[in-house]
Structure 1
């Protein structure tokens, strides 16, 4: 089919929405073992390489431009997800999360340097330790230097993260759940109150109601991104705009100016997220099949070394801080998926070990807060900061 004849913004938009629908369907059916990101990546690769999709599919849809426009807004939103009070309560978890990322960095820069070029090492560190934002930061630096394969490498790692992280964490958390159940039955576990999920609370903000509509919210968040850009410019780029936007999101939530999870619930959020996620697929359109095949080896090496480093560092520090080996390793593995996987896996582990509602609640109360903080806060903050620094060394 000659898409050039039929391709227009509406057609491109519709095709992309179909791809995302398929990805979401598969993710739901497999309980996120196979992520929607992986499904979308496979469809895009096959579509581009068989010429079923034209190279300009993403740009024709106008979604790519949307994603590039609102990426800063997403980062402010991520900042408003983070509770400083919860970080203080879970300071040991925070330190273990930090050690996990340090493990990824140390192992890949030492052991990984025997197998991978420095640019691929940096790409792997950013993708394994972080979220879509970290991948976008890597991509911008790589593409600016003409390193398309380095950008593609980050995409592939991001696509396969969940496939590796979910099964490993599931096995480890189920073992931890059984240990916690043993403590509960022995009467040595201090039962915690049910976890209050931050997103279920009534959002609080000192902003007038006029700024809490969809348009008002986007205006406020956009203004924060503009402020972040101004601050970054004032430092001549020493402070990355994304890092400043993240910190502003955290601080403005802490002072009650921005409500928690500020973009959640507004009419445009879902479309904004799809636009942002599409950014990472851009380099797939121009890479050859041979290039993609050549990346299989480095991909396996990066995962093997990076994940091992994460587990090793988190296990050692966790043991020193009084956490069990299994809990520490699970915290380290949150770099591979983050929220909501951290919540889903914790709940599944509690249900697998607990034989009644009280046991399930006790197990979940012990595991879930640690996993939420590890994947929802620590990794989010540090990965963006670390990736922003390391991306400057891509050349």
Structure 2
């Protein structure tokens, strides 16, 4: 019998009792099943990530989903363990030659981050008076929003944490909240835009393939024989594969710790994946075919939706104008600078802009959206493989060049100016 008070989540049992783990797991799988179905029915026009993001956002805002849904499902905990495994796997999907060839992609990614900062500075010059008060009264200044917006729009969790630490250090709570809201909302914008643009690029590449200008990647044409690896059969099983990939992740963590984060764990893991494939230690797509890959992939996708659980309507309304300006001018910076630099380097405009948009979400969106675009355009397994072989390496390297490398470096440099 109810005793009054705030409404409890429809799937929960109140704040004192955590959600049933099995129920939470089933709910998350139901959301992902629906999202995947919508993506397939719309041929990736509505990406599974976008559909799932909308379902989770509405669910959390309306109280249908309890705030601890994702934690209770145990998938967030699993994701924290296996994300490095998936990044090593991604490295083994890219040959060393392909990795080296992506220097143009890296430059487009760097230009994108710079474009975001420049356009947000322009926004501050035009609208700064409306989003800031007097510094002596403890109000955030327009430049503070520029710095926070640049770091969060172009980066992931590390950039957000850098901004938050700097903002809280000078007592600017609004600036500490700002990047969290951007992180929670940017996928809702980045996923559908990238999906539409990549679909155009995939259709263009399909025409190139049918004209004989594209070939199917080598590993996609193998005849199903023994995988190309020097590992003994005992280390090719599900457990054995997870063991050796786990060792590679531990090495990446060790290098990260030895360099105090200068060499980021995930960057090292990606490079190790490429190197170990090249040396013949790992087969191409090292986790492909093992029993646990599907669950691991779903788990890391849940990382994308984590910030949505804590977002409040009041947070959005209080910072609505800065958020609108950040996304509007940020997208102009992304599209303009990535298209200009990409076109100069010989990329198509859609591919260039898609590379730039990776700054809004990074991995795993870079992989999922690439695969969905290829499956949506390709009509045969060979076409899908050829299209994916062109898009996926660019998108993976783009995500790391924007979110993991350039954004962290630039954010670390400019964060100290918050509150200055």
- Which runs of no fewer than 5 residues in structure 1 stay unpaired? 127-134, 185-190, 352-356
In structure 2, the CA distance between the partners of 1:293 and 1:97, relative to structure 1 (3 Å rule), is farther
Superposition pairs for residues 75-224 of structure 1, below 5 Å?
75-88=87-100, 91=101, 94-113=102-121, 114-115=123-124, 116-126=145-155, 135-138=156-159, 141=162, 147-171=176-200, 191-192=212-213, 194-196=215-217, 198-199=219-220, 201=222, 203-224=227-248
How far off its partner does 1:18 sit? 0.8
- Which runs of no fewer than 5 residues in structure 2 stay unpaired? 1-9, 125-144, 169-175, 358-364
Counterpart selection for 2:25 from 2, 8, 13: 13
Counterpart residue number, 2:3: none
Residues 267-308 of structure 1: per-residue CA shift (max 9 Å, x gap):
111211222222232222222112235566555544544444
Matched, 1:58 2:78: no
In structure 2, the CA distance between the partners of 1:388 and 1:241, relative to structure 1 (3 Å rule), is farther
CA–CA distance in structure 2, aligned partners of residues 368 and 25 of structure 1: 20
Contact 1:331 1:374 in 2 (8 A): no
Counterpart selection for 1:333 from 354, 360, 383: 354
Contact 2:248 2:269 in 1 (8 A): yes
Residues 232-256 of structure 1: per-residue CA shift (max 9 Å, x gap):
2222332222222222112111111
Counterpart residue number, 1:132: none
In structure 2, the CA distance between the partners of 1:310 and 1:21, relative to structure 1 (3 Å rule), is same
Residues 116-164 of structure 1: per-residue CA shift (max 9 Å, x gap):
43122111112xxxxxxxx344456567777454234123212332311
In structure 2, the CA distance between the partners of 1:53 and 1:311, relative to structure 1 (3 Å rule), is closer
Counterpart residue number, 2:302: 278
TM superposition score normalised by structure 1: 0.77
Contact 2:229 2:282 in 1 (8 A): yes
Matched, 1:3 2:13: yes
Contact 1:307 1:333 in 2 (8 A): no
- 3-state SS of the aligned residue for 2:266? helix
TM superposition score normalised by structure 2: 0.73
CA–CA distance in structure 1, aligned partners of residues 43 and 146 of structure 2: 35
Counterpart residue number, 2:360: none
- Say what the alpha-carbon RMSD is for the aligned residues: 3.6
